[in-house]
Structure 1
Amino acid sequence: MGAVYFYHLTDTPLEATLPMLLSKARGAGWRILVRGDDQALLERLDQTLWNGPVDDFLPHGLAGGPHDGEQPILLASGLAADGFECVMSVGGSTITASEVGLSERCCVLFDGHDEAALNVARGQWKMLTDAGCAAQYWAQDNGSWTKKAESGS
């Protein structure tokens, strides 16, 4: 069974944090689903990844193309986690306990300056840890990540 990591973004925005986490996940050899419920957000992240540093290019695609099944990183809404070792939730998209169990890692990235996003993340933490999922909570602390809590197996 995998684990779910919660990333509380306070010092850097999603557009800066996501590429760093994607690079680490790709370094582990994982195929990644970036799931969001807001198509405009996914399109913005797609552009962010295309415009990233040439020497750290992250091959990816926005769902709906002819090669979705071959994309090492796929940005999508409402797509099941089957076939992905890592699922990254953005914009409050839900991750289920069964997805945590099927994946090597699930990540919930949320804006620490948005009260609604904080409440969604708290609800996700409670639901997933109550279901027995191993979870870690990471927060930014003066530019670096610090593990603030851990729960589960």
Structure 2
Amino acid sequence: MEKLYVLYDADCGLCSWARRWIIQQPAFLPLRFIPAGSDTAARLFPGLSRPDEPKQELVVVGDDGAVYRNENAWIMCLYALEEYREWAVRLAHPLLRPLAREGFALLSRQRPRISRWLSLASEVEIADTLGHVHAPSCARTPSDVFDSTAGSSPRGFVEIDASP
């Protein structure tokens, strides 16, 4: 395995934050993040991600065809990172895997609430919000700024003679 594809919920603030955090980490394996339900995800991984399906789970696909879901996907993301591989191996241990599963399930169920609590907005949410903001256009013209009858000084400004 030389590369991992991560299908994540691009509408979720917590998921978007986790993607940004992972991208900043040194990695043994490159991770390519693809929004779940996107046309790209449907084209690359037919049957795993379709635009009409809810984005309920984290899915990681290895370039060897292996598919990891939920806590296994999260463990694989950690396994790809240089500083977190040991944690991934530990969480995959049979004694800790149930705890990893429960922890991941708890976070997954509470993603919207955690995103609100931590004020984590996804890029999709920010774009949607900014798309509804209508900035006034600048209706001023050069003649509003410069009064041609008063010389070259902008209107409202007074020239000061600074000579000694």
Bigger radius of gyration: 2
Structure-2-length-normalised TM-score = 0.27
Q: Looking at secondary structure, tell me which structure has more strand per residue.
A: 1
Higher relative contact order (CA 8 A, sep 6+): 1
